[in-house]
Amino acid sequence: MTKPLLLLWTDGAGPYAAAIEAAGLAGRLRVETVPRAATPSDAQLAEAEALLSWGPPAGTLTRMPRLRFVQTLTAGVEHWLSRPDLKPDLALSCARGTHRVQMPENILGALFHITKPYAAITGDNAAKRWTRRVSATLAGKTLGILGLGAIGVELARKAEALEMHVIGTRRGSGDLPHVDRVYRPEATDEVLAASDFVVLLLPATPATDNFIDAARLSQMKKTAWLLNFGRGALIKDDDLVAAVQAGTIAGAVLDVFRTEPMPAEHPFWGEERIMVLPHIGGLHPERDSMVAALLVENLHRFVEGAPLTQLVDRQAGY
């Protein structure tokens, strides 16, 4: 019997090929690599049964009649779900969980940036200026997390260690470790009103497009900060700029945007109380190895005919 063909359609496929070899799967699969900017051959497209990819050009999936399983390299999959060539029965697994460590650390870095004067002190150093500054504490403050998934729960664990109060929203019911109170999404305004820092970790779905608008920003404390490490479409950009300029909220730290790289003419640039991060939240030196571990787990299941893990719920959008 011919072994299934797996296409590693990405740059830097080395960690993925090495993980497949180390897992003993090389003898059960044909593994072929294609650079991200290249196009697989007609034979590769016709024969591939499994695919690792950031997202092929439009229409490509219709040329892959034997394709049964796709492993994406990102947790967000809205660019996959919007494809007209995505077959209903194609198993789509996302990289959910691979940002569990680095994303909370980057969010904590943003919280420390907001409350500690190190950026101003860097300027003092350059000017050889001795200026004593007072930093605010995170201890005792309330952190509101909209989207208590794997990243949100890990952030809650770390925040609790800093003596913060943690509240947040999730679709499921029941309590969560390290979270003082879990709300349903319908109670988002209660979380906004009670929080000193609001972190967005929601997926991009039709229901979350422009989720944070003028009405919701008005529910926040004037001293509160908004941090978006979820998806750029969660925020109505003009409403956020207006809220910061009017003092409706204290400021924002943003890591994701509707258009990336963000255009030079975007009003976020130059706004003193809005920090623009170049989408660094999930980056990690070993990120490919983390996704490779997920790919290997799913390939074991794939060749055994077992259910895959981290499958995308197409109705929910993530």
CA 313 to CA 168: how far, in whole Å?
A: 22
Q: Which of 21, 163, 260, 286 is catalytic?
A: 260
Nearest-angstrom CA–CA distance, 293 and 305: 18
Question: 49-83: buried (b, 16+ CB within 10 Å) or exposed (e) per residue?
Answer: bbbbbebbeeebbeebeebbbbbbbbbbbbebeee
Q: Quickly list DSSP for 139-159.
A: TT-EEEEES-SHHHHHHHHHH
DSSP 237-278: HHHHHHHHHHTSSSEEEE---SSSSPPTT-TTTT-TTEEEP-
| 231 flagged as catalytic | yes
Tokens matching residue 259: 């258009």
Give the phi and the psi of residue 263 in degrees, each rounded to 5.
-60, 150
Helices (H), ranges, 82-187: 102-115, 118-126, 150-161
C-alpha 209/C-alpha 157 separation (Å) is 28
Give me the amino acid identity at 31: V
Of 211, 204, 191, nearest in space to 260 by CA: 204
Active-site choice (96, 99, 170, 231): 231
Is 99 in the active site? no
Mark whether 260 is an active-site residue: yes
Candidate list 63, 181, 273, 279, residue with the active-site label = 279
**What positions carry a catalytic annotation?**
231, 260, 279
